């Protein structure tokens, strides 16, 4: 049976996951200070990115923006031909940058296409991956979007190790949320494969530690 559409209010915030004991504090010292307000603006769900009813989902695209395998192919298949037609007008996208289109037949209103690096080493790949997250968040904000959902960028055929990629994702999103009160109200981390579930469950508490009480 096909998965049904998941609305934003069905996606649990990190704060609620901590309250429900579905996310546990790390045994290691956190890299950032606890913030209930930030934990309410970040969320985590395991599921199908193409079923999320958010303002934008982030597509791990290639430089052509003309579709591919994995998440990229799934997004194009779900959105329909009109997405490819719009992507053809964009002239591609360099690694580390992002472009925005309509969502067409997706539940999401928009797709933000970002081109992750093919993993070679942290020194080379990390700045590019960080730029993917940062540019996607900035593009969402520039377009007045309130919710955006990311699956792991570059963790498929591009070979970026899941834990290392989760560190970049969590650190970059946390820095952005600390710096900006709006317009983004919810940033969602989406996992699907078990390796990514394990990576985010391990890394999120380092950058989004549980708060003892509300700010």
2 pLDDT band (50/70/90 cuts)?
A: low
Assign 1 a pLDDT band (cuts: 50, 70, 90): very low
Q: How far apart are CA 112 and CA 211, in angstroms?
A: 31
Out of 4-8, 184-188, 211-215, least confident range: 211-215
Over residues 53-80, the mean pLDDT reads 96
Question: What pLDDT is recorded for position 213?
Answer: 52
Q: Where are the domains of the chain?
A: 39-207
User: Considering the entire predicted model, what is its pTM?
Assistant: 0.95
Q: What are the φ/ψ torsions at residue 25 (nearest 5 degrees)?
A: -65, 150
CA–CA separation, 100 and 194 (whole Å):
29
Q: Answer yes or no: is pLDDT of 215 > 50.
A: no
Mean pLDDT along residues 64-83:
95
Residue 205 has pLDDT above 80, yes or no: yes
Q: Decide if pLDDT at 198 tops 90.
A: yes
In this structure, which CATH number among 3.40.220.10, 3.30.390.50, 3.20.20.140, 3.40.50.1100 belongs to the domain 39-207?
3.40.220.10
Q: Would you state the structure tokens that stand for residue 199, as one six-digit string?
A: 């990576």
């Amino acid at each position: 049976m096909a998965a049904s559409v998941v609305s934003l209010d069905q996606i649990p915030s990190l704060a609620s996951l901590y309250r429900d004991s579905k996310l546990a504090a790390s045994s290691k010292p956190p890299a950032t200070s606890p913030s209930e307000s930030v934990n309410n603006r970040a969320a985590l769900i395991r599921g199908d990115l193409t079923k999320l009813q958010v303002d934008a989902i982030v597509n791990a695209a290639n430089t052509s923006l003309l579709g591919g395998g994995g998440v990229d192919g799934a997004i194009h298949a779900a959105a329909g031909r009109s997405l490819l037609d719009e992507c053809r007008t964009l002239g591609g996208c360099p690694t580390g940058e992002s472009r925005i289109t309509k969502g067409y037949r997706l539940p999401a209103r928009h797709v933000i296409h970002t081109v992750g690096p093919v993993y070679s080493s942290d020194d080379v790949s990390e700045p590019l991956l960080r730029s993917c997250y940062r540019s996607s968040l900035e593009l969402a904000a520039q377009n007045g979007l309130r919710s955006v959902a990311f699956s792991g960028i570059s963790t498929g055929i591009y070979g970026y190790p899941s834990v290392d990629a989760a560190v970049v994702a969590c650190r970059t999103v946390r820095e952005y949320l600390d710096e900006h009160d709006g317009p983004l109200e919810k940033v969602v981390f989406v996992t699907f494969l078990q390796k990514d579930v394990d990576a985010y469950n391990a890394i999120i508490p380092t950058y989004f530690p549980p708060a003892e009480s509300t700010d």
